[in-house]
């Protein structure tokens, strides 16, 4: 009898929180039913972002509920499937514009809808930040034409130099000289110098002499150590 009671009241895993939101939104908490007593406890180990662990002193049932966290509030996902499309995301959270726009462009390949969603944001600052995130996504995927389109057709002039820097550095990954030439089109000196600096560091691995020459194109920098010193002491700093 004692063995049976001991087994019944022994704490059993009944769900946990792991991950973070906002997103893109994802189910990050599962919770099972419990015949007995169910409580939340903080785990002693596990993933870094676990905020709670649910245990059942009794029998954990197979009835499972899934949640995603929207602005600190757990929202139940009835199907227990991750919201992946922009429609599904906005159904769960009507003002999760960043996540929905990202899904529109990365999952559904719909730039027009992604821009439309960003433009739904009331704050002009947040709207531009959302669109610039789309630029970063396309740039990271190597879609330079789309990235350039986003930059010059949907963002204000204050973003131009940031866009040009990003595109120049992306070009330099496959063609150093074309990337360096692209840096020359950047108007703001700080962005232009950063462009040369970052390309020089990447070039260091294949051509130290050329990397130092690119450093010499920098007009004024606040980097510490300076570009030339970083190139010369690269292996001391990064343990080649």
> What is the rounded CA–CA span in Å between residue 140 and residue 125?
22
Residue 108 near residue 85, CB atoms below 8 Å: yes
Average pLDDT over residues 21-34: 68
Q: Supply the pLDDT for residue 9.
A: 55
Q: Determine the Cα–Cα distance for residues 103 and 30; give it in Å rounded to an integer.
A: 23
Pick from 34, 30, 42: nearest CA to 12: 34
Q: Which tops the pLDDT comparison, 16 or 233? A: 233
pLDDT for residue 41: 72
What pLDDT, in 10s, does the model give residues 31-68?
888 888 888 775 444 333 445 678 888 888 888 888 77
- Is the pLDDT score of 8 beyond 70? no
Domain positions in the chain: 2-77, 84-155, 164-240
HSE-up of residue 220 (Cα within 13 Å, Cβ side): 3
User: Distance between CA 223 and CA 205 in Å, rounded?
Assistant: 19
What is this structure's pTM?
A: 0.70
Q: How far apart are CA 138 and CA 143, in angstroms?
A: 5
Q: What is the pLDDT at residue 27?
A: 65
């Amino acid at each position: 009898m004692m063995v049976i009671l001991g087994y019944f009241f022994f704490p059993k895993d009944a769900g946990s929180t792991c991950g973070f939101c906002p997103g893109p939104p994802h189910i990050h908490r599962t919770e099972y039913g419990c015949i007995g007593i169910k409580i939340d406890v903080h785990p002693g180990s596990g993933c870094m972002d676990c905020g709670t662990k649910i245990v059942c002193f009794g029998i954990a049932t197979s009835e499972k509920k899934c949640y995603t966290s929207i602005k600190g509030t757990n929202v139940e996902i009835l199907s227990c499937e991750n919201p992946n499309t922009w429609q599904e995301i906005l159904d769960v959270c009507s003002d999760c514009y960043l996540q929905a726009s990202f899904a529109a462009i990365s999952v559904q390949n719909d730039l027009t809808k992604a821009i439309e969603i960003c433009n739904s944001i009331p704050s002009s600052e947040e709207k531009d930040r959302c669109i610039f995130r789309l630029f970063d996504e396309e740039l990271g995927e190597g879609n330079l034409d789309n990235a350039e389109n986003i930059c010059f057709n949907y963002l204000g002039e204050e973003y131009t130099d940031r866009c040009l820097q990003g595109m120049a550095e992306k070009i330099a990954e496959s063609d150093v000289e074309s990337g360096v030439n692209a840096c020359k089109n950047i108007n703001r000196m700080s962005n232009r110098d950063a462009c040369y600096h970052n390309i020089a560091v990447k070039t260091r691995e294949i051509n130290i002499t050329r990397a130092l020459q690119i450093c010499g194109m920098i007009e004024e920098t606040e980097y510490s150590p300076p570009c030339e010193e970083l190139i010369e002491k690269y292996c001391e700093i990064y343990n080649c």
